[in-house]
Structure 1
Amino acid sequence: MSVKIENIRNFSIIAHIDHGKSTLSDRLIQLAEIVSDRDFKDQMLDSMDIERERGITIKSQTVTLPYTAADGETYLLNLIDTPGHVDFSYEVSRALASCEGAFLLVDASQGVEAQTLANIYLAMEHDLEIVPVINKIDLPSAEIEWAKDQIDEDLGLDGDSALQVSAKTGQGVEAVFEAAVNLMPSPEGDSNAPLQALIFDSHYDPYRGTIVHVRIFHGTIKKGDKISFLSNNSQYKVEEVGLFQIVRKPMDKLEAGQVGYIIAGIKTIRDVSCGDTVTLAENPCVQPMPGFREPNPVVFSSMYPVASDDYAELTEALEKLKLNDASLIFEKDASAALGFGYRCGFLGLLHLEVVQERLEREYDISLILTSPSVQYEITRSDGTVEIIDNPALYPDPMEIEKTREPFIKAAIIIPDRYMGAVMQVCLEHRGVSTNYQYLTSNRIEMKFDLPLAEVVYEFYDRLKSVTQGYGSFDYEIAGYQETDLVKLDFLVNGERVDALSQLVHRDKAVDRARNACKQLREEIPRQMFKIAIQGAIGGKIISRETVSAYRKDVTAKCYGGDISRKRKLLEKQKKGKKRMKMVGAVEIPQSAFLSVLKSGK
């Protein structure tokens, strides 16, 4: 399927969560007839079970759609479906680097939301042609004119020229194809120049090794070519090239402007990195592509295998997962309670949950995670400054001059009737209101400065609850501010459990300790002796719960008779329990480590 470069279009679909990106992709795939009706299923590009269960897109996926336009010309349309959640905005920025244009979806009943704005700025950074699309026009609550006004006012695009579609029913979807052909620019590139291809994603196949997803900017690549990765000069022989059409479709060659895959028997996972440039070993290009900004992880947690024998498998699984998720960062870590593991960095709590679930499902590894924390900046008394994200590395309070924590600038868009409730939630999470403005007569954008550590701890769930799902939230990191930080330890039966330790603001410590002790009491199984669960700052106990003991009825065989005989048996039992408690070790189940992260609210 060799097509002139003028007849290729590379475009992306971007939008806020749940505005219908994956459903529109489904309709486009059906129209292009690359999948038979028998094999078709909803959310065709959401290939992971976890995506289908949660109803969200996590990975941006590529599909090449052949399309014959009204003028009889055949076009190759490379469509990239992207995630909408703020935790996966790095996926979106990588997808946009392979495109020349983007369809920006706006829900006809919800209008422009926080991630809509964030994504349009990403698209503008990449200098893309942006075509607005109003989706869900079949809903009874759809307000098309209102949505057009918002596209005009909030996004600065022409609302009247926005396409009107219903991805669910298929109404107006043909116009999306025509808009891609007529409004999106074709890629620029020279098929005869030295090969210059950008790796924008990759994944591991147990039979074929690492499969590299590339966008060809210049040159041509075919089976048998010897390729080189510019970042590490490793060389491989190409076994297969092709396009993504739900399944991999082998081709004779890939030319400038196309998006496809390369299989070259790459067994060394570390050789492939996202943003690297692929070129031919015999005729290399002069300079590499600019690549991608390194993602900045904001949430850190340690992962340990439940069985310490699985450490080698965890290492291999993390390396394979990193191929497919370039924003995951990890380094070796060790704990007295849990043995060897990895300290991992994530882009948010949802990202953390998804990585955990993928490791457990795809690689069959049972994990224990420690409490998530953020990076704190600590100035010691001698003037040295260090960044720590692990409570285990927190120095003695006597040595600390000051601590600073990361803050974010949050933009929250809500219907104005929820203003009071949102204000209260933000104040509870130590937020400071900086500004608010009306976007339309009844929608308001509120700006807050919030500590990142508070956002990590179930802020998003609370926001969605108080706004009945209408609140949308986006944030950017805004630097460090001074804070009053303490290390909160948990003792189970007098033993400090380092994997449960947290760094918290002093004002929040008592609440957090009480809540965590309650959750632990529910999770830790009862023993033959009482178990004390305590929260402590340094040597000061600030909360306590007790798991009561099982108790054998030692007086059951005493019918009537003298009370002193019963008392003697009870005293004997008491002494035995005391002795047992001194040597009794408490096993903490995996669920207890996770329960500490949940709030009781």
Structure 2
Amino acid sequence: MNTDHIRNFCIIAHIDHGKSTLADRLLQITGTISDRDMVEQVLDTMDLEREKGVTIKASAVRMSYTAKDGGTYELNLIDTPGHVDFNYEVSRALEACEGAILVVDATQGIEAQTLANLYLALESDLEIIPVINKIDLPSAMPDEVAEALESLLGIPAEDIPRISAKEGIHINQVLEAIVNRVPPPKGNENVPLRALIFDSHYDPYKGVVAYIRVVEGHLRNTDSLRLMANNTDVRPVEIGYFAPGMRPVDELDSGDVGYIATGLKTVSECRVGDTITLTASPAAEPLPGYLHPKPMVFAGIYPVEGEDYSNLKDALEKLQLNDASLTFEPEKSQALNFGFRCGFLGLFHMEIIQERLEREYDLDIVVTAPSVEYQVILLDGTQMVVDSPVQLPDESTIAEIREPWMGLDIFSPTEFFGTIMDLANKRRAEFRAQDHPSPNRVHLSFEIPLSELIVDFFDDLKSRTRGYASMDYHFEGYRAGNLVKVEVLVGGEVVDALAAIVHKEDAYHKGQRLVTKLKEIIPRQLFDVAVQASADGRIISRANVKALRKDVLAKCYGGDISRKKKLLEKQKKGKRRMKMVGNVEIPQEAFMAVLRLEEE
């Protein structure tokens, strides 16, 4: 097709503002999917995506639309992930487009993720089409939201389409805006091929399927291709486009969005952001912006039953086929035996992986409290990276510990200003700036340690603001901090999986709260169990889990006191003997207790 009649666009929005529903309506109105085959969130293929109402994997679909001017246009919708953890994938998907539909909920207004994705889109020089959704709801405020968008983007309020994706109201206005306002692709057909990989998935029959946008040049299904980041040559199994199923074609031209089934065996060989070119006449340089996604949050995953270790390894390998940002390596814990140390993009990414392991692979697993990656500078000047408290060397050899800090943006109604500032102070956040995007909303900017952010911060923020606040964060850099390791001893033995790296000022309080919590959670044994917390080489808190006792005096009806003493003494000796050989089984809740240590 003539590139003048191609439009490549994506939909960006805050979570739950109606992005997937709008995509459904566009597919329905353009006849891409018949009413009979229509399901809600048709581009969200995972059960988890439907349940949580957030797109986890990007997808692409080609639609054909006949506009009011009589021309037939090829519309390529690239659906982007909707969570801050998948920021890099969003940025690559935006690079594959010329325009973006910015969906804003008429009942909520502009929120943190809306702005974060908007700034990414503006950096990619995309044409922004704001759309106000959910106008059918009784609590909708389309006029106020239109004014806020006008002051943000400079687009007149009356020119912003007001739609209801659920009810199908005014969807044609969105399609016309795409045709009239999104520029056609500018790629040159007569230069060496450069195609951007903006996502990929693993297919058991076709290998890795790369989702591509042909930026320049021309691609045939007989061409030998080269992946420029790792210099791998592949012979494509097939090429084609999504409608939304895979439709093979013989060639893809400049400006087209489609896929290449590479036959490769792992997604790590075909990374998001890489450039594909021809082996015979390669491009001089790859497309800009390629990064290796870096894990930010680390946790240990262990099978509840030891014999499930190989099943857990297989499951993680299969998940890694589809998700190259998941990293894992074997780890041994004294308390939990053999398992894996896994790296995730963020806490939401970790939750998704945990749920998929339990559901799709039917595994019973224990997940330790998440930690972040610290830089440790030793007295001899060497630097090491530590992602688990267990790896921290002896305190006497450490010069300083650096922790990752994040830039944090919070959007909220002004009435919750005080409670947000209180939360930020408790979490060691440093205030940077504030502004008011609209009369009754405030935008607060902070710097905060990542270790404080990953532990229930979002839940706490939502509960303090009755669900109205939203947040977005990005990595700023490493800073030296006054940090120590808090260890937990149960029955005199260190439980390495319960160790945590915390700020020195908080060590005593966190140790005390952890011991109190564990005392409630650890089931009573037939002997006394001491639960202790230690930091800086000394015990900072202790509690005893009292022994279960049989009433050995029940059979004594009166009689001599010495007989009762003899029975109690015999019981005491038995308890002492049991304590020497007894093992304490620590339940899963104990590991999660490390997470929930914020004061009530």
> What is the aligned partner in structure 2 of residue 232 from structure 1?
230
CA offset digits 1:58-81 (Å, max 9, x no partner): 222222222122233222211122
- Where in structure 2 are the equivalents of 1:215-294 lying within 5 Å? 215-294=213-292
Matched, 1:130 2:128: yes
2:477 is paired with a residue whose SS is strand
2:214 is paired with a residue whose SS is strand
Matched, 1:24 2:35: no
* Distance in 1 separating the partners of 2:184 and 2:156: 22
- Tell me if the contact between 2:266 and 2:321 (Cα under 8 Å) persists in the aligned partners: no
- Tell me if the contact between 1:231 and 1:276 (Cα under 8 Å) persists in the aligned partners: yes
CA offset digits 1:435-461 (Å, max 9, x no partner): 222332221122223222211111111
Matched, 1:52 2:50: yes
1:377 is paired with a residue whose SS is strand
> What is the aligned partner in structure 2 of residue 360 from structure 1?
358
> What is the aligned partner in structure 1 of residue 564 from structure 2?
566
Q: Give the total of aligned pairs.
A: 599
Matched, 1:43 2:55: no
Point out the more displaced range, 120-129 or 188-197: 188-197
* Distance in 2 separating the partners of 1:212 and 1:477: 28
* Distance change >3 Å, CA 447–CA 223, structure 1 → 2: closer
TM-score of the superposed pair, with normalisation by structure 1: 0.92
- Where in structure 2 are the equivalents of 1:494-533 lying within 5 Å? 494-533=492-531
> What is the aligned partner in structure 2 of residue 490 from structure 1?
488
- Equivalent residue letter for 1:93: S
* Distance in 2 separating the partners of 1:211 and 1:364: 26
> What is the aligned partner in structure 2 of residue 540 from structure 1?
538
What displacement does 1:24 show? 0.8
What displacement does 1:104 show? 0.9
- Tell me if the contact between 2:150 and 2:156 (Cα under 8 Å) persists in the aligned partners: yes
> What is the aligned partner in structure 2 of residue 378 from structure 1?
376
* Distance in 1 separating the partners of 2:498 and 2:289: 38
- Tell me if the contact between 1:487 and 1:502 (Cα under 8 Å) persists in the aligned partners: yes
What displacement does 1:189 show? 2.5
2:85 is paired with a residue whose SS is helix
- Equivalent residue letter for 1:469: G
> What is the aligned partner in structure 1 of residue 194 from structure 2?
196
* Distance in 1 separating the partners of 2:74 and 2:208: 26
* Distance change >3 Å, CA 156–CA 568, structure 1 → 2: farther
* Distance change >3 Å, CA 279–CA 436, structure 1 → 2: closer
- Where in structure 2 are the equivalents of 1:399-418 lying within 5 Å? 399-418=397-416
What displacement does 1:199 show? 1.8
Structure 1 residue runs of 5 or longer lacking an equivalent are: none
- Equivalent residue letter for 1:457: V
> What is the aligned partner in structure 2 of residue 150 from structure 1?
148
* Distance in 1 separating the partners of 2:266 and 2:325: 19
* Distance change >3 Å, CA 161–CA 266, structure 1 → 2: same
CA offset digits 1:219-244 (Å, max 9, x no partner): 44344443332333433332222222
What displacement does 1:470 show? 0.9
- Equivalent residue letter for 1:352: M
* Distance in 1 separating the partners of 2:36 and 2:589: 41
- Equivalent residue letter for 1:241: I
* Distance in 2 separating the partners of 1:295 and 1:14: 21
- Equivalent residue letter for 1:199: I
2:549 is paired with a residue whose SS is coil
TM-score of the superposed pair, with normalisation by structure 2: 0.93
CA offset digits 1:20-40 (Å, max 9, x no partner): 111111111111222232322
- Tell me if the contact between 1:518 and 1:545 (Cα under 8 Å) persists in the aligned partners: yes
1:38 is paired with a residue whose SS is helix
* Distance in 2 separating the partners of 1:402 and 1:199: 40
- Where in structure 2 are the equivalents of 1:92-491 lying within 5 Å? 92-191=90-189, 193-491=191-489
* Distance in 1 separating the partners of 2:455 and 2:46: 26
- Equivalent residue letter for 1:304: Y
What displacement does 1:158 show? 4.1
- Tell me if the contact between 1:330 and 1:345 (Cα under 8 Å) persists in the aligned partners: yes
- Tell me if the contact between 1:458 and 1:599 (Cα under 8 Å) persists in the aligned partners: no
1:83 is paired with a residue whose SS is coil
1:444 is paired with a residue whose SS is strand
- Tell me if the contact between 2:15 and 2:53 (Cα under 8 Å) persists in the aligned partners: no
2:86 to 76, 85, 88: 88
- Tell me if the contact between 1:196 and 1:218 (Cα under 8 Å) persists in the aligned partners: yes
- Equivalent residue letter for 1:456: I
Structure 2 residue runs of 5 or longer lacking an equivalent are: none
* Distance change >3 Å, CA 237–CA 375, structure 1 → 2: closer
- Equivalent residue letter for 2:288: P
Point out the more displaced range, 115-124 or 282-291: 282-291
Cα RMSD for the two superposed structures: 2.5
* Distance in 1 separating the partners of 2:329 and 2:399: 28
CA offset digits 1:148-178 (Å, max 9, x no partner): 2211223444444222111121111111111
What displacement does 1:310 show? 4.7
- Tell me if the contact between 2:268 and 2:324 (Cα under 8 Å) persists in the aligned partners: no
Point out the more displaced range, 485-494 or 402-411: 402-411
1:265 is paired with a residue whose SS is coil
Identity of aligned residues (%): 52
- Equivalent residue letter for 1:94: R
Matched, 1:552 2:557: no
